[in-house]
Structure 1
Amino acid sequence: MRAVPAPKVWVTGLTVGATAIVVALAVQADKGAKPTVSAAPRPSASATADPKPAESESPKSKRVPDGSGTGRRIVYSLGENRVWLVDASEATRRTFAVWPGTVDPEPGKYTVGQRTEDPITGSDGVRIEHVVYFAVRSGVNVAFSNAVDGSSPPPPADGARTGGIRMSDKDGSALWAFGTAGTTVTVVK
């Protein structure tokens, strides 16, 4: 009579065999071609034919305007349509181009007041978020924001008075995080 191996021996043998097959297949797969991800350009969600502001630039690529003060602050240049986020050590943390509204704030120093993170409808009818209010001019609120859908502002209706200073969604998130209540906003020509 033949001796029948114990069930434990069978299970161990099958487990070792299966493990060897899995290891062999893994080694073969590792030697094969690897999938790659190609970065296809994102379609523009622009609501107008206006070019989108340049992507955020290296902090060293654009110098903070002279006369913009000292210390931690947001600097907004009316002439360059550009914003700088400057920390307490005078280092530029981020700079980016923006789309201005039709009502500009006067050059000077302001303070961030009310902030609205959740989407609301802007004065131009566009859903916006990360709204950081800092001035009022002739009854028009002036604030930084970005469109929820990432679009540029539509051309204003004739005579429309808009105080929204729009930016890309990434820049809007960065400004929102930096521009807490009480942060200084310096507007220069």
Structure 2
Amino acid sequence: MASSSAGIVTGLVTAALVTIGVLAHQASVNAPADLGPARATASPAPGAVKAPRDRRHPEALPAGSGTGERVVYSVDDDRVWLVGPGNKVRRTFEVTPSTVDPVPGAYTVTSRSNRVTGSDGVPVEHVVRFASAQGVAVGFSAAVDGSTAKPDPDRRTGGIRESRADGDAMWEFATIGRPVVVVR
């Protein structure tokens, strides 16, 4: 009987922990913006639409890209915005996308490397990683030789390439924990 009671208690504890985990995940994904950035889910939200843009001013910050200091990356427009205090764009620039796109959502900078070899074999500097997609680390980087060639479409790469000057600006701005918002 004691063995049977222990099994029931273990089952109840396990069920409670699973329920708490599911609720915690839902809360983190659906947290209001004023509680900090949420982690993006593994797939886009049903019915997700591209953030509206001011087509006369392609450098304008996308509507619905959040508030506060953050990096905004548009996977459709291949553009980045570094947004400072007061929702003011400090810098915007075009990038060369990787072959693997992160899912639109809210992330944070998780790691940085001053100089490494990119997944495409190119020496890069000022690597700022913020996501993982299809088993590949995704982040911003600048090729040491200054090139921004499009990656081989047959290779899965996560390096979003910037010019060296833009890479320097990203490196200074996007420290560990900085929010990164990915929009269509």
TM-score range, shorter chain: 0.5 to 0.7
Aligned pairs for 1:22-171 (under 5 A) are: 62-117=59-114, 119-153=115-149, 155-156=151-152, 159-171=154-166
Q: 2-side partners of 1:114 and 1:153: how far apart?
A: 24
Q: Decide whether aligned partners of structure 1 residues 65 and 154 sit closer, same or farther in structure 2, where only a CA change above 3 A counts.
A: closer
Q: Distance in 1 between matches of 2:151 and 2:72?
A: 25
- Are 1:133 and 1:144, in contact at CA under 8 Å, matched by a contact in 2? yes
Corresponding position of 1:183: 178
Q: Given residue 116 of structure 2, which amino acid in structure 1 is its aligned partner?
A: I
Runs of 4+ in 1 over 6 A off after TM superposition: none
Q: Is the 8 A contact 1:78 1:188 kept in 2?
A: yes
5+ residue gaps, structure 2: 1-56
TM-score normalised per structure 2: 0.67
How far off its partner does 1:61 sit?
Answer: 6.9
Q: How many residues align?
A: 128
Q: Is the 8 A contact 1:101 1:162 kept in 2?
A: yes
Query: 1 CA distance for matches of 2:158 and 2:132?
Result: 8
Deviations 1:52-86 (A, max 9, x none): xxxxxxxx872100110000000000111000000
Cα distance between partner residues in 1 of 2:79 and 2:147: 18
Gaps of 5+ in 1: 1-59
Q: CA deviation at 1:88?
A: 2.0
Shift of 1:105: 0.1
TM-score between both structures, scaled by the size of structure 1:
0.65
Larger radius of gyration: 1
Q: 2:98–2:151: 8 Å Cα contact kept in structure 1? A: no
Q: What SS does structure 2 have at the residue aligned with 1:153? A: coil
